[in-house]
């Protein structure tokens, strides 16, 4: 049973009412874990600013609670308010160990719950086409491979595995392949699903005893495209079924294309047989677009919005936002909205004003959040586990690796890493020194997974993670 606690204290009556209503709607357990300690809110010139202790909490609140917060705020004030999230590592001091453990438990339950929920297969509109994909230096190999797969009824390489950070065009390529495949005149069949959808359909087949229909739906395809295949990590039964599906399609000379946020070697808790098949085909990385490609993407998006944006405006945005395509397009959409609201044309002055907060939050430097995402994907845990008190071999090794990479790949000092990770300064120093010693000795690291004990040299582990963070 959830423990009833007093709501967070807030001087602003609007914020106090918002917190009370939020606690009522999401329940005391979730409220205490994410908002009671370490999260500060204040209204500033019509903008609700939410400060959080680390990137993981920021992402979780944005994904799971921002819409609810916006709705409550609109009810209270009678108008829509903008919401911005910023990371303030000094707030880590306010977090309690119990809060961190609760966050980890809630994330684990949420992930497992998505797979358990019974729901019909998602009706998926494939809106992306290869013809609208903007090709640049960082994605041209993946694009060429996608065109090759889409244009030949025989498998040139199986599978095609596309990986890279969020928002760089992996889904665009997979859907583009399927759309071109469907346009062919030879009657070839293909199917695009996410790893989550495949898992849900498999669970329904188990419960409803409809294995025959499930297997026919997948094993007789000419092309199967699975997005976010890393979702299958740690799901042993689903991985076993997918392995059989993979073998059936491959043995028939048909094609499989996969997409993931990380290289297959970095997907934690993956069946070794599946892993060997993933790396046996063509594995290609898509990186964030370069400057010229970013400008081209912005111009195409501006045309779609019927927005007349001068070249200097697009260049300014492309220069200051160097992350994902989604960040670029989101910035342009916000600029278009502000320009329309003020009944003016986009100018450099307007873009600097309208996107000031956005540009600050989307800096191109590698962050601890980036490192945590790559490390936790490799070890098959969640960022919440890193900040919890859990000391299993897997979590401890992942935490040590993240701290070492934070010191190596960022400008963060030991105290800054300590605050962000919820540790003390001396603990981080000793942890990093321990990792440096393991690397110097070329020690072998071992940790348990669902598929058995996994082993890798410390130097090889850091090399793999460095490549993913490059």
More reliable by pLDDT, 169 or 152: 169
Shared domain check, 389 and 307: no
Same domain, 142 and 253: yes
Here the tokens at position 55 are: 């990137």
Summarize pLDDT for 250-279 with one digit per residue, the tens.
Answer: 999 899 999 998 888 878 778 889 999 999
Which pLDDT belongs to residue 117? Answer: 44
Of 261, 289, 285, the C-alpha closest to 160 is 285
Domain end (from 285, 309, 337): 285
Question: Do the domain assignments include residue 457?
Answer: yes
Residue 121 lies in a domain: no
In a shared domain, residues 215 and 141: yes
Query: Would you tell me how many other CB atoms lie within 10 Å of the CB of residue 271?
Result: 22
Q: Can you count the helices (H) and strands (E) in the chain?
A: 22, 10
**Which SS3 state, helix, strand or coil, does residue 344 take?**
coil
Say yes or no: 144 and 101 in one domain.
Answer: no
Residue 277 and residue 163 share a domain = yes
Token pair listed for 373: 């995402």
Residue 196 belongs to a domain with what CATH number? 3.40.50.300
Residue 311 lies in a domain: yes
Same domain, 174 and 101: no
Domain harbouring 306, CATH code: 1.10.8.60
* Residues 264 and 283 sit within 8 Å (Cβ to Cβ): yes
* 389 vs 6, residue with greater confidence: 389
User: For residue 360, what pLDDT is reported?
Assistant: 53
Calpha distance 360→357 (Å, rounded):
5
Q: Would residue 5 count as lying in a domain? A: no
d(CA 397, CA 94): 25
Domain count, the chain: 4
CA angle centred on 222, ends 218 and 223, rounded to 5°: 75
Strand partners, 49: 42, 84
Are 201 and 216 in contact by the 8 Å Cβ rule? The answer is: no
What pTM, to 2 d.p., does this model score? 0.59
In a shared domain, residues 139 and 255: yes
Lowest mean pLDDT among 33-37, 219-223, 451-455: 451-455
- Rounded distance between C-alpha atoms, residue 189 and residue 221, angstroms: 5
Contacts of residue 61, Cβ cutoff 8 Å, sequence gap at least 6: 34, 39, 50, 52, 85
Look up the CATH number of the domain holding residue 31.
3.30.300.180
Q: Looking at residue 462, what is its pLDDT?
A: 92
Whether residues 295 and 281 fall in one domain: no
Q: Does residue 1 belong to any structural domain of this protein?
A: no
With respect to residue 3, please indicate whether it lies within any of the assigned structural domains. no
**Does residue 258 fall inside a structural domain?**
yes
Confidence of residue 3 (pLDDT cuts 50, 70, 90): very low
Same domain, 65 and 183: no
Query: CATH number, domain at 444?
Result: 1.10.1750.10
In the chain, % helix, strand, coil (3-state, to 5) comes to 60, 10, 30
Give the domain range for residue 74.
13-116
Do 387 and 438 share a domain, yes or no? yes
Which of 83, 116, 149 represents a domain boundary (last residue)?
A: 116
Does some domain include residue 8?
A: no
**What is the predicted pLDDT for the residue at 461?**
92
Q: In the predicted model, is pLDDT for residue 152 greater than 60?
A: no
> Is the same domain home to 235 and 300?
no
Chosen domain end from 332, 361, 390: 361
Question: Domain check: are 169 and 223 in the same one?
Answer: yes
């Amino acid at each position: 049973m959830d423990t009833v606690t007093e709501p967070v204290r807030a001087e602003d009556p609007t914020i106090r009412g918002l917190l009370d209503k939020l606690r009522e709607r999401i329940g005391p357990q979730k409220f205490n874990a994410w908002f009671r300690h370490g999260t500060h809110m204040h209204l500033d010139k019509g903008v609700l600013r939410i400060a959080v202790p680390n990137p993981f909490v920021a992402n979780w609140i944005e994904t799971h609670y921002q819409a609810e917060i916006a709705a409550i705020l609109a009810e209270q004030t009678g108008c829509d308010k903008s919401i911005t999230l910023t990371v303030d590592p000094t707030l880590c001091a306010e977090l309690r160990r119990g809060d961190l453990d609760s966050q980890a438990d809630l994330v684990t339950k949420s992930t497992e719950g998505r797979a358990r929920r019974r729901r019909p297969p998602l009706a998926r509109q494939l809106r992306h086409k290869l013809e609208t994909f903007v090709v640049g230096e960082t994605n041209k190999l993946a694009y060429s491979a996608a065109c090759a797969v889409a244009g030949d009824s025989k498998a040139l390489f199986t599978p095609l595995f596309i990986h890279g950070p969020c928002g760089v065009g992996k889904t665009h390529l997979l859907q583009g392949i399927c759309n071109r495949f469907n346009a062919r005149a030879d009657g070839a069949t293909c199917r695009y699903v996410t790893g989550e959808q495949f898992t849900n359909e498999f669970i329904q087949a188990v419960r409803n005893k409809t294995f025959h229909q499930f297997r026919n739906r997948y094993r007789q395809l000419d092309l199967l495209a699975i997005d976010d295949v890393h979702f299958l990590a740690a799901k042993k039964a689903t991985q076993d079924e997918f392995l059989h599906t993979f073998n059936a399609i491959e043995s028939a000379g048909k094609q499989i294309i996969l997409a993931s946020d990380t290289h297959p070697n970095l997907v934690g808790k993956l069946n070794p047989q599946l892993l060997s098949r993933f790396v046996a085909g063509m594995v290609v990385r898509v990186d964030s677009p370069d400057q010229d490609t970013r400008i081209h993407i912005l111009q195409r998006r501006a045309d779609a919005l019927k927005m007349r944006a001068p070249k200097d405006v697009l260049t300014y945005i492309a220069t200051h936002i160097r992350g994902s395509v989604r960040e670029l397009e989101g910035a342009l959409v916000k600029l278009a909205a502000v320009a329309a609201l003020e009944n003016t044309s986009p100018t450099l002055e307007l873009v600097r004003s309208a996107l000031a907060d956005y540009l600050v939050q989307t800096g191109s430097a590698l962050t601890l959040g980036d490192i945590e995402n790559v490390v936790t994907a490799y070890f098959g845990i969640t960022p919440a586990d890193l900040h919890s008190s859990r000391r299993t071999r897997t979590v401890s090794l992942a935490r040590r690796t993240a701290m070492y990479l934070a010191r190596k790949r960022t400008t963060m000092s030991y105290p800054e890493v300590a605050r962000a990770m919820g540790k003390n300064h001396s603990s981080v120093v000793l942890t990093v020194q321990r990792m440096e010693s393991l690397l110097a000795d070329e020690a072998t690291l071992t940790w348990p997974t669902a598929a058995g004990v996994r082993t890798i040299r410390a130097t090889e582990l850091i090399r793999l993670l460095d490549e993913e963070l490059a």
